[in-house]
Structure 1
């Protein structure tokens, strides 16, 4: 698609001013298929196939992804629930000297703001509470290779003292 909007959004690569801060996400650039696994509190799980697409955007000053679960080809089949269709933008906040992440889920309205740390080759995105929420989220990207990675979503009902795994993604490179 060649449109002014897409052309003004997508960047060919990173901007030199932020590359050192955002390069930890660079291995994720591209398209991925994944199996999403949801965890119920009673120990049962269910799996839905999805897709995840990452790109440099905004003059290369950010990395954006589109999260689609179930995948585009399966969304209208009725085989799976609506799931989620959303986007995440990762950018360097010079004033706070940290990477921030904003998630916007459109299919099931949701907004989260995270601050990033990189520990033991894991990208840990810890939620920054916005307003009054009953729980906090933490998203961890780990086991990153050129062909796969794992993503985990955890929640805490006690302000981060204990964490419970609620979702996992097992991603495989598509392109």
Structure 2
């Protein structure tokens, strides 16, 4: 059977995957990332493929999944209605995050088919921020949510080539919640 884009989309996956809120005995812990549920605009800045500073606009969507036991997000850069700059390393990926009570932290997996990347992170709250660390392969990655409010946040991406002794800034995203 081949895919026919003229046929209506099957809602089965969406109905089975998405739910309206947290569930289970760790519902309170789920709010670390549950606070982001909704849609956001992104102002991205970093270094372009040409080595020069670059800026772009994107979009971010968070939602409850897997029976309310996890939070999933989708990051789209540039946004679906934005021009694609030839100097920007575009990405369109998703993260599934869930609280692991045995670890006392969040397990988080980033999947990005555009650049063929998959990375696993462990996330924890630290002094009002959220820090996610991927140290299973080189280089190490550290992603941080900072300056978190109900309507905005700052996301920082950093890389370490010496097992976390020093960190190099890669990119920043200013997140602004879309009004409902």
TM-score over 0.5 for the pair: yes
Q: Which has the higher contact order (CA 8 A, sep 6+)?
A: 1
Matched-pair contact (CA < 8 Å) for 1:82–1:107? no
Matched, 1:124 2:131: yes
- Measure how far apart 1:32 and its partner are: 0.3
- Measure how far apart 1:95 and its partner are: 3.3
128, 146, 149: which one pairs with 1:145?
149
Indicate the residue corresponding to 2:56 in structure 1.
Answer: 48
- Measure how far apart 1:79 and its partner are: 4.1
Matched-pair contact (CA < 8 Å) for 2:78–2:84? no
**Count of residues in correspondence between the two structures:** 169
Judged with a 3 Å threshold, the aligned counterparts in structure 2 of structure 1 residues 49 and 115 are, in CA distance, closer, same or farther, namely same
1:97-112 aligned within 5 A: 97-112=104-119
Judged with a 3 Å threshold, the aligned counterparts in structure 2 of structure 1 residues 138 and 84 are, in CA distance, closer, same or farther, namely same
Matched, 1:71 2:79: yes
Judged with a 3 Å threshold, the aligned counterparts in structure 2 of structure 1 residues 95 and 66 are, in CA distance, closer, same or farther, namely same
Judged with a 3 Å threshold, the aligned counterparts in structure 2 of structure 1 residues 128 and 93 are, in CA distance, closer, same or farther, namely farther
SS at match of 2:13: helix
Q: Distance in 1 between matches of 2:68 and 2:57?
A: 29
82, 102, 121: which one pairs with 1:114?
121
Matched-pair contact (CA < 8 Å) for 1:122–1:140? yes
Q: TM-score, normalised by structure 1?
A: 0.89
Q: Distance in 2 between matches of 1:124 and 1:135?
A: 17
- Per-residue CA shift, 1:127-151, capped at 9, x if unaligned? 141xxx4310000001111111000
Q: Which residues of structure 1 form unaligned runs of 5+?
A: none
Q: TM-score, normalised by structure 2?
A: 0.86
SS at match of 1:7: helix
- Per-residue CA shift, 1:78-110, capped at 9, x if unaligned? 445460000001102233332111000111110
Matched-pair contact (CA < 8 Å) for 2:135–2:163? no
54, 57, 67: which one pairs with 2:65?
57
Higher alpha-carbon Rg? 2
Q: Distance in 2 between matches of 1:78 and 1:126?
A: 29
Q: Which residues of structure 2 form unaligned runs of 5+?
A: 1-8
